[in-house]
A and B are shown apart, each in its own frame.
Chain A
């Protein structure tokens, strides 16, 4: 991935930020000042320092999400080549996932919290992901369903006057970011016949593109439709939680690009991380809980109707979902949307 101008500004920003953080009390930080890879981690803050840090966080909301995930220095962040941070030395499992965290030490547990109260459906994360990961046209590693729920209610006193009578608008728009859930018991990994896809000990589910035979079994087995065939490399593909960024102490691209901080990424093993606090203080749900996949993407204030098919009678506008981006033209013309349920447009 070429280093863009943006990365440079990002780096200087990081430098600034970490300088501030260090001044506050030596918080964990990422300094990309020399090379992209070098990760300097100051020792884990003391309790008092942590308090001050948290106070700092409160005064300065992380609107742009540029802060790094909270890291534990004991996990060997400084010894890049030899430690867990190097994904090459990270244990991976193909089955028996309950080993992670029991017999296999789990250094981090990367999770994402998606706060739907904040999502405005701008699709910035979708674009950022495509940009970051070179996702081909027509497929998505993350996407945001924007749906309208409800209908126009006939109402003699309604404000909307049409030839067919007066109506009151009872439609709300809801948007729902979707992504691979990096399930703790991923059926997609278990079914791969050649062990091409795997779960890292830190929770990230990935695919080895050099081993995948392209059978499509994992794509069928994922209950969340998070996987797809990459039409360029002809293998299964999906979200990696931007493992290449996370391994270097950066946040996933979608998280950094979200203008409303609707996506929060972090280490669930770290009780002080923002995700841990969100999960412990806010009611969250996961998708299709009943399937026992133990998804690790948590939703706050999820619009039930958007996801549960049997109640989505009024979904009228699924826009990245089920629509090929090459066929966006049909949106402006008279051509019916594929699989249109006949709802109001």
Chain B
């Protein structure tokens, strides 16, 4: 059925609606959460290692949902295969989409395989009869080895994929910025700052999302929240927000000051953001809620350790980044190309390219994420019951059904250190405490720590 909602009133219309506002948002979250995962996988921020698997599946779920936005926005969705058969490279930035996306999906599959292989192997050994165990055994692709050498190999794969992946993530998201930035027809889009602005705000939103998801997941399962992780994420958040603020200020100065900007750019920037319909989303949401308030609220270490504060600020940042996407995508189109009028750009509630479809895309991303959470042994490390209930390690928790409902105990002191549970091998660089121990001291210590591994070994011996 042809869409019945048309934007605007007449010739000049904002054809790229809410779905295209959401598209850079989601792909930014993909890139951002991937960057969070690589912080520990590649850059040795070992404290963040426990949440790396979570960030990775979050990134993957969003990655799978991301194309739905542009697919839903295309007027002839049945012809998308032409993006592969009639690809207009290298002239059209958009033509690269499917190529980059497929490459990214493949890379993520490799990385997720390596991240979760050991966990899958253990689960397959423990729950060989259950559906989960069967899935896990398939997902190991037959490699059930959990010895130190195999763990180190996984780690190496993860490091490589993280290294390539971060380039791909920047490409995947940066080219969207380039799509806008390369459009000389639109005064407010055509700035070389655009790709950089997009990537930086993507990282900001990714960190905030991982933060929020980590807090939500821990609350949901009643685990103790590791405040060091929260604080570290907040520290990264503050750093990237500062960078974002810097770029926003540069953008503001080079577009919003008559003396520095091309006349058309200045006129529209001035009319839309300073006096026009976008004043609230720009100053209120993008700069205020998205940048200034989080910066102030996360200023001190004390405030960065506060869970409630972090959750609220992460939410604020997510809202602010969405507002930034809105300001760019909608604002660019509100600036008329051929008349002096502001093009109307209404938000459509239901139907084609509407709030409804955007909610749908997010719902699909959430469903995918929940599905991966169900399927992947990501809990290792994140799951952190209080110290009293020792013995419930990550590995055991994936093995023992019901381990997730560990009794909630007293909230730990704010300076709780590295979790007792070793992080997943892949998510840790060599030399980090626990996986290092596992690697160096070999199976003996491993067995004393995790009796479950013994079983795995024997099973492997049998098979």
A residues engaging B (CB < 8 A)? Answer: 94-95, 138-140, 143, 145, 178, 187, 190-196, 211-217, 219-225, 228-229, 231-232, 234-235, 291, 307, 309-310, 312-313, 315, 318, 320-325, 327, 338-341
Contacts and interface: CB of A to CB of B under 8 A. Distances in A.
Contacts of B185: 187, 220-223, 291
Given A213-B74, A220-B16, A322-B343, A187 B86 contact: no
B231 to A, nearest CB: 42
A315 B340 contact: yes
A249 B152 CA distance: 74
A143 B11 contact: yes
Interface string B71-103: 001111101101100111001111101000000
Contact of A193 (B83, B183, B340): B83
Contact of A94 (B88, B93, B264): B88
Interface stretch (B2-10, B290-298, B300-308, B436-444): B2-10
Given A191-B92, A223-B337, A338 B6 contact: no
B76 A214 contact: yes
A223 B341 CA distance: 15
Contact of B12 (A95, A195, A225, A341): A225
A325 B75 CA distance: 22
Contacts of B336: 225, 309, 322, 339
B15 A229 contact: yes
B95 A194 contact: yes
Given A95-B91, A310-B264, A322-B9, A194 B338 contact: no
Q: Is the interface of B mostly helix, strand, loop or mixed?
A: loop
A318 B339 CA distance: 8
7 contacts: A139-B11, A140-B11, A143-B11, A220-B185, A225-B336, A321-B339, A323-B9
Nearest to B266: A310
A217 B339 contact: no
Contact of A225 (B70, B79, B88, B338): B338
Contacts of A223: 184-185, 337
A193 B89 CA distance: 8
B339 A221 contact: no
Given A213-B80, A225-B12, A320-B10, 13 more contacts: A187-B184, A215-B73, A215-B94, A216-B16, A217-B94, A221-B184, A225-B336, A291-B185, A307-B338, A310-B263, A312-B340, A322-B341, A323-B9
B21 to A, nearest CB: 13
A195 B83 contact: no
Contact of B76 (A213, A221, A222, A224): A213
B88 A192 contact: yes
Given A95-B91, A190-B91, A193-B94, A229 B75 contact: yes
Given A231-B6, A235-B75, A194 B91 contact: no
Interface residues of B, number: 49
A310 to B, nearest CB: 5
Contacts of B2: 231-232, 234
B341 to A, nearest CB: 3
Contacts of B94: 191, 193, 215, 217
A219 B15 contact: yes
A308 to B, nearest CB: 9
B13 interface: yes
Contacts of A196: 82, 86
A228 B11 CA distance: 8
Most buried by A among B10, B77, B83: B10
B267 interface: yes
A307 B79 CA distance: 37
B9 A324 contact: yes
A63 to B, nearest CB: 30
A217 B340 contact: no
Contacts of A220: 15-16, 183, 185-186, 333
Closest A-B pairs by Cβ, 7 of them? A214-B75, A339-B341, A223-B185, A193-B95, A312-B340, A193-B94, A194-B82
A277 B284 CA distance: 57
A102 B150 CA distance: 61
B344 interface: yes
Nearest to B79: A213
A193 B88 contact: yes
B337 A322 contact: no
B328 to A, nearest CB: 12
B342 interface: yes
Contacts of B12: 225, 321-322
Interface in B167-194: 179, 182-186
Most buried by A among B15, B73, B94, B338: B338
A196 B338 CA distance: 25
A95 B95 CA distance: 13
Contacts of B3: 234
B190 to A, nearest CB: 10
B1 to A, nearest CB: 10
A120 B434 CA distance: 83
